[in-house]
Amino acid sequence: MNGRRVDQLLDLSGKVALVTGASGNIGASISRRLHEAGASVALHHSTNVERANELALQLNERVMVVGGDVQSDAARIVGDVLTFFGRLDMVVNNAGIQ
């Protein structure tokens, strides 16, 4: 990347991303980079709402937190994102299921 920031390489302004498993280390990093590139980000968590809320506070704007099981609550999760942002352009399926 030659030391360049993501926003210098990719412009996601006006786009909305849903990152599943955003309360984990990898999901949080993905969420930060998408946000840095200009995207609004829906931070999904299944159990760790505190960590998702902490990340939302760090990102500060263009962000929401949504919880639920990605298997049984997928339609509601997507519906919540659509209600909050009015659109959904991409999903990063990062949630780990054990």
CA distance 40 to 74: 19
Local confidence pLDDT in tens for the 98 residues of the chain: 466 777 678 999 999 999 999 999 999 999 999 999 999 999 999 989 999 999 999 999 999 999 999 999 999 999 999 999 999 999 999 987 66
Alpha carbon 41 to its chain centroid, in Å, reads 4
Per-residue exposure over 37-75, b if at least 16 CB sit within 10 Å of its own CB, e if not: bebbbbbbbbeeeebbeebbeebeebbbbbbbebeebee
